[in-house]
């Protein structure tokens, strides 16, 4: 009898607590501020809107996400700190903008030869989930994804390595290092600053994926596109840790269940969008697309290979098992890009 009464009491407690939590989530109306740095039409913001819509639907409206694209709440350079300090609850960061801050996951900026954003995005997420690297311990990671492979967009044709020798081209982080190895003059800056730099002639072109031809209108200014299939840019969507800890368990579960799916969704969207952007740029702006000869691509691979040893050295100093991570990248790439 005593045991039954205690059992009932415990059941009553569980029911009231869970009802209470649900009621709290509904009544309090959880509002999350999500900051992003590039303009609204770009892929990091498209995936942000998709995530917001999914979260609102899957929590039956208990969570409301307010999105701030185009650096309206936090810009690229303030994003990481701003989220840690709680100016935004959620933010999107490009890892390449923070050299030395992510010794493990910067492995995804190296020239592995990924052919797709989907393959690279899923690889990045799996690496994060496996290693849970200390470099992200001060935030909650909601998802990760990458750009598509990087290509040249320039004011003049690029067909050989001679064509970029000493030429000012924009890349960020390790992609800047790629440009240096190729003999160009690398100029590093966040994406939102690039259109003006091209316009003013500070740079003659940029190295990133072809989505921006349409989404940031580079097709108007950079008429010559060269397919080089260089490294991708990794991104992370991070949440203020206190905010995360304040969320009810059922809401946390919805967000955790969305992480891997959101990574794959973004990769698939990006791969399709790059094709659409290229077709649009040819039609609307008559851009010229040149696929670099196999011999030129092979030479680029040879010149950039030392970046991998450079990463290994720095990673090892930060306590990362660099060989194990590189091995995982190769295996995951084969798995997701077969
Ligand atoms: C990128 C960044 C912002 C908006 C669209 C984009 N497409 C590819 C990238 C990657 C990149 O160049 C960067 O700076 O992160």
**Is the pLDDT confidence value at 1 over 90?**
no
Question: What number is the average pLDDT over the span 77-83?
Answer: 97
- Say how far apart CA 316 and CA 206 lie, in whole Å: 31
Who's near 177: CB < 8 A, 6+ residues apart? 171, 186, 307, 310
Per-residue pLDDT tens digits for 207-234? 999 999 999 999 999 999 999 999 999 9
pLDDT value of position 4? 47
Q: What is the pLDDT of residue 338?
A: 87
With a cut of 70, say whether residue 56 has pLDDT above it: yes
- Tell me the chain's radius of gyration from C-alpha atoms: 22
Q: What is the average pLDDT across 172-187?
A: 96
Q: How far apart are CA 306 and CA 30, in angstroms?
A: 48
Distance 159 CA to ligand 1 centre (A): 23
Helix, strand, coil abundance in the chain, percent, nearest 5? 55, 15, 25
**Which pTM does this prediction carry?**
0.92
Helices (H) and strands (E) in the chain, counts: 13, 11
For 210, the 3-state DSSP assignment is coil
Using a pLDDT cut of 70, give the percent of the chain over it.
Answer: 92
Tell me whether residue 230 is exposed, middle or buried, using C-beta atoms within 10 angstroms of its C-beta: 0 to 12, 13 to 18, 19 or more. buried
pLDDT digit string, tens, across residues 36-48: 999 999 999 999 9
CB of 145 sitting under 6 A from ligand 1:
no
Q: Is the pLDDT of residue 192 over 50?
A: yes
Residue 44 CB less than 6 A away from ligand 1: yes
Q: For the residues 9-16, what does the mean pLDDT come to?
A: 45
pLDDT at position 28: 61
Q: Is 151 in the pocket of ligand 1 (CB under 6 A)?
A: no
Q: Residue 8: its pLDDT value, please?
A: 47
Q: Give the model's pLDDT for residue 25.
A: 44
Nearest ligand 1 atom to the CA of 45 is 4
Which of 39, 40, 42, 80, when mutated, tests ligand 1's pocket best, judged by the most ligand atoms within 8 Å of its CB?
Answer: 42
Residues 84-112: tens digit of each pLDDT: 999 999 999 999 999 999 999 999 999 99
């Amino acid at each position: 009898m005593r045991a039954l009464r205690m059992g009932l009491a415990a059941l009553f407690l569980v029911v009231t607590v869970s009802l209470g939590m649900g009621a709290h989530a509904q009544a309090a109306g959880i509002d999350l501020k999500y900051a992003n740095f590039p303009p609204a039409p770009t892929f990091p913001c498209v995936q942000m809107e998709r995530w917001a819509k999914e979260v609102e639907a899957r929590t039956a409206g208990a969570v409301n996400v307010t999105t701030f694209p185009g650096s309206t709440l936090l810009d690229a350079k303030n994003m990481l700190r701003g989220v840690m300090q709680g100016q935004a609850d959620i933010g999107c960061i490009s890892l390449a903008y923070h050299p030395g801050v992510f010794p493990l996951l910067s492995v995804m900026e190296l020239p592995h030869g990924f052919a797709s954003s989907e393959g690279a995005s899923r690889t990045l997420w799996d690496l994060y989930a496996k290693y849970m690297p200390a470099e992200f311990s001060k935030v909650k990671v909601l998802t990760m994804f990458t750009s598509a492979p990087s290509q040249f967009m320039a004011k003049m044709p690029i067909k050989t390595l001679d064509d970029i020798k000493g030429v000012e081209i924009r890349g960020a982080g390790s992609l800047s290092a790629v440009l240096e190895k190729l003999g160009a003059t690398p100029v590093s800056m966040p994406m939102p600053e690039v259109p003006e730099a091209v316009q003013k002639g500070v740079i003659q072109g940029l190295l990133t994926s072809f989505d921006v031809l349409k989404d940031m209108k580079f097709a108007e200014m950079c008429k010559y596109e060269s397919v080089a299939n260089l490294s991708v840019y990794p991104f992370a969507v991070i949440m203020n840790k206190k905010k995360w800890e304040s969320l009810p368990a059922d809401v946390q579960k919805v967000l955790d269940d969305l992480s891997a799916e959101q990574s794959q969704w973004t990769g698939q969207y990006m791969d399709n969008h790059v094709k659409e952007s290229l077709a649009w740029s040819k039609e609307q702006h008559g851009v010229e697309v040149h696929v670099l000869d196999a011999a030129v691509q092979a030479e680029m691979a040879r010149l950039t290979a030392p970046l991998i040893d450079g990463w290994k050295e720095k990673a090892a100093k930060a306590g990362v098992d660099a060989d194990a991570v590189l091995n995982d990248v190769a295996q995951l790439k084969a798995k997701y890009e077969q």
